[in-house]
Structure 1
C-alpha cells in the first residue's frame, strides 16, 4: 500500500493539469476534504500551528507535528504530504533525521524550505543542496521532497523580475540534482515568469494560490504541475467561525 501511495502521488503531478491541494490541518479537516473529492491530502504548517494555538515558523513542537501527521495519514486512504518547514534544523544531518522521522509516520512527502527559519534570508544554494541530498539519502528514492524557495515570498511582487527568476532557476536546477522531487515557488504570480520557470525546471513546479492571484486555469497553462492553497482555507474558516460566534453571542 505504501509503495502504491508514493507512485500515485508522484503521478498526480502533471504539467498543465496540476494536482490541486486544499490544505488541511488535522484528521477532521482531512476527512472533510476527502469527502469533497480530493486526490491527495496536504497540510499547511501555518494552519496546523494556528489551529493548535502556536505561531508559524517551527513554533509548533516537532513531536506534535509528527503525531499530527501520523493521525492524518492513518485517517485517510489517500497520499498525505506534510509542510515540514525547514525540517526543524539548519544542520543537514539533523534535518535529514527529522525528515526520516516524518516519513516513518506514513506520509508520502513533505515541503522543505530554503529560508533560514528563525534567522535571516535564505540558505545558499550549496547549503540547501547539501540539506536536500542528506534528506534524500535518509528517506530513499520515493519520498516526495517538495523543496520550497522563499525568494519570491520575501519581497513585494512588484520587485519580482528576470534577475530573481534567474536565481530561482539556478536554485531549482541545483535542488533537482540534489534529489528534490518538486519545486515550490509561493507568491510567484507573474504568469510570464512562472511559464519560464516551468519551461526551465527539471522537476514539477508548485504554485500557491493567494487572494487576487491568477486563476487555476491560467496557472495550469504555464505548465505548473501542482497548486496548493496554503493557510488560506484555515484562515477563511476561522473568519466564518468568528462571525458565526459573534452573531450567536450578540
Structure 2
C-alpha cells in the first residue's frame, strides 16, 4: 500500500505570511502523523507576479521554518503542455467557449445588475455574453466552462472532507474561467491536473478554497482524474477579522525574521511548538 501524499502549494506573488506558515506546518504535521510524503509545488502560472525573486524567497522562508519537502520541486510554469492537453480534451467535449469580456465589461454588468445571482465569493455570475458568439481563440481571450453541460455529464458530485461526504454545488459558480487570457490555464485546471500527476491523496488548504472544491470535482470527473481527500482549515486572520493577504501589506515572515523572531517562536505562535 502506497503512503499518503500531501502537498503545500503556494502562489509566490509576494512574500509568505503567517497564514502560509500555518498551512505549511499543518501539512507537515498531518503528513508525519499519517506516515506520508510531503511535496512542495510552486503555483507560478502568473509569471508577471510570481517572479524568480519571490519564488526563491518562498523556498527560503519554508527552509527557515524547518520544513523538509521531497525534491524535485514542481513548478507549474513548466507544466503548460499538460494543461493544454486537458484543454483540448474539454474542447473536444464541446465544454469550453471563448470569452473576450474584459474586467471593465464585467464591472459594468455588475453595476447595472445589482440583483444578479452571485457566486460563493459574492461576485456576479458571468451572464453568458460570449456563449452566443463564435469568437476565435487568441492570447487576448479566455476560455470558460459550459457549466450546465458539464454538470449534465458528471451528474451529482461529492467530496471527502475530513471523512465526511460533502455535496458539491458547482452550479453556484456559473461558467468559470478554465484558461485565463495571456496565461493559457487557470488555478482550477492546473491544480487538478497536478494533484493527479503528483499522486496527491490529501489536499490540506485554507477554508477560503473550500467552495471552489466543487469546481475541482467537476474537472476531475470530466478528465477522469482521481479525487483526493480534502481538509480545509481555518484561516489566520488580521485583527480586523479579514484573512491575511500579501496585497494588504500584512506582515510577512521575512518582516518577522528581520524583527528578530525565530522559527521556533513562529511554530509555537501557530500551535506547532
Q: TM-score, normalised by structure 1?
A: 0.28
Where is the helix percentage greater, Structure 1 or Structure 2? Answer: 1
Structure with larger Rg: 2
